[in-house]
Structures are given as C-alpha cells and as structure tokens.
Amino acid sequence: MLSAAYQLRRGQIENYFDRVAADAWARLTSDAPVGGIRATVRAGRDAMRATLLEYLPQDLRGRRILDAGCGTGAFAVEAARRGAHVTAIDLSPTLIQLARDRLPQRLGVGEILFTVGDMLDPSLGRFDHVVAMDSLIHYRVGDTVAALAQLAVRVDRSLLFTFAPRTKLLTAMHAAGRLFPRANRAPSIEPVSEKTLLRHMDAAPTLANWNAGRTRRISRGFYISQALEVVRA
C-alpha cells in the first residue's frame, strides 16, 4: 500500500528530475567540468558509489540487483561490469534515456535492463540485492521504511541504501535551500537521525528478520549522505 504522502512526493521527484533538473543532472553525472559546489557533490557521489559497491561481493556473476532510482545509471554500469544482472529503474524517462545513451558497448558477462517506473513495482520480480543510492532521501522516514519493508519481501540477501543524516550542517543547508526561489528548489531531502531510522525499521514487521550491518557517512563539501547495509538474518 503506497501512502498518499509517498505518492505526492514521488510526483514532485519525477517532475524535478525529469524536467526541472534533467540538464543539470546530466552534467553533474558526466565528465564535463562543473563549478566548486557541484564538484564537491560529484566527489561525494563517487565516494558513495564506491562504498555501496564495496558492500557487495567483488564477483557479482549471477547476482540479480535492483538499482532503485538509478538516475543516469552509473552504479548499474559498475555492478554489471562485475557480472551482475541489473534491473535499473527510475521515475524519469529523460534520465533513463540518458542512461541508455551512455551505456558502454561492453559490460562483460553482466547486463542491464533499464526501465521507467516505481522501484516498488512488484512485477520487477525477486533480487539478491537492492541498492538505492540517494533515491529514498527525499521521502519522510515513515515512507522510506515502508518502501524498504515492501522491497524486503522480494530480496534474498541485502538492502543497501542511503539516508540524509540529521547533522547541524545538513539542517543549516536545508534551511538555506528554502531561501531559493521555489522554481529552483530540489524536492527537499528529509534528514533523519540513524537512531530514529533504526527505530522505525525495528517496528516494521517485514524487516524483523533483517539486521543493520555496515554504515558509512560520506561528507564532501555540499554532499552529505550515509550508506546503510541491511542484511537478512
């Protein structure tokens, strides 16, 4: 069951990434030069992607991975290069088209199926791992955990995702973001403390057999995000 708040936020996110910020996002995720602030975000995102890849086995041959909110597909490409069969889904048709255009000719034994839609769609099937890099950070903690709980019933090994940690700096940046004209604003992120997140996860029945594992906060200039690994007990 998708809450009204989830559906409302999902529509805002789709509008933002598919229309408002598609060009900026295309540039940020390319090799093109970017200014100082965006350069820190790019560096932080590279470090986060490397962290999430580190939380997966080196050899991913035969593993089914859902790249949940794949954007332009950088994570999916790295996982496929290690042999994974990746389903990469995003709300934004524009970003999925960009991901397809950027797909390298050779991926080795891995493969990627890019698709437009909601990561919670049960018709996507079962996976060994779900990876949601910076795609759940826009939802309230209740909806984030409800999403994880829905994904968990279709996942056999691990859920890897990021959350926006509630730090003083992030709260200040969040407040500053509200000063931008509405049209230029990203759908706001929803900072949450690790403790609150884990408390919500503990209360979710379908996450009862799952344990929090490794976690790492990545902080580079304007990029602050924290990876959390959740594994089947």
Ligand X SMILES: C[S@@+](CC[C@H](N)C(=O)[O-])C[C@H]1O[C@@H](n2cnc3c(N)ncnc32)[C@H](O)[C@@H]1O
Using rule CB under 6 A, residue 90 touches ligand X: yes
- What DSSP letter does each residue of 146-183 carry, written as one string? HHHHHHHTTEEEEEEEEE-B--HHHHHHHHHHTTS-GG
Shortest distance in whole angstroms from residue 196 CB to ligand X: 20
Amino acid making up residue 208? A
Shortest distance in whole angstroms from residue 233 CB to ligand X: 26
Q: Binding string, 42-81, against ligand X, x = CB under 6 A?
A: ---x-----------------------xxx--x-------
* Helical spans, DSSP H, in the chain: 4-15, 22-28, 36-54, 74-81, 93-102, 141-152, 168-177, 194-202
85: helix, coil or strand? strand
Phi, psi of 218 (to 5 degrees): -110, 125
Shortest distance in whole angstroms from residue 89 CB to ligand X: 5
Rounded to 5°, the CA angle 93-43-34 comes to: 70
Residue 171 contacts residue 191 (beta carbons within 8 Å): yes
Among 170, 155, 146, 145, smallest CA distance to 224 is for 170
Using rule CB under 6 A, residue 17 touches ligand X: yes
Using rule CB under 6 A, residue 143 touches ligand X: no
Using rule CB under 6 A, residue 94 touches ligand X: no
Using rule CB under 6 A, residue 187 touches ligand X: no
Using rule CB under 6 A, residue 130 touches ligand X: no
Instruction: Tell how strand 64-68 and strand 85-90 pair up.
Output: parallel
Name the residue nearer to ligand X (CB basis): 92 or 158: 92
Q: Which of 81, 118, 217, 222 binds ligand X (CB under 6 A)?
A: 118
Using rule CB under 6 A, residue 135 touches ligand X: yes
Q: Report the alpha-carbon distance of residue 151 to residue 136 in Å, rounded.
A: 12
Using rule CB under 6 A, residue 191 touches ligand X: no
Using rule CB under 6 A, residue 145 touches ligand X: no
Using rule CB under 6 A, residue 160 touches ligand X: no
Shortest distance in whole angstroms from residue 193 CB to ligand X: 21
Using rule CB under 6 A, residue 87 touches ligand X: no
Instruction: Tell how strand 155-163 and strand 127-132 pair up.
Output: parallel
Q: Binding string, 18-37, against ligand X, x = CB under 6 A?
A: -----------x--------
Binding site for ligand X (CB under 6 A): 10, 13-14, 17, 29, 45, 69-71, 74, 89-92, 95, 118-119, 133-135
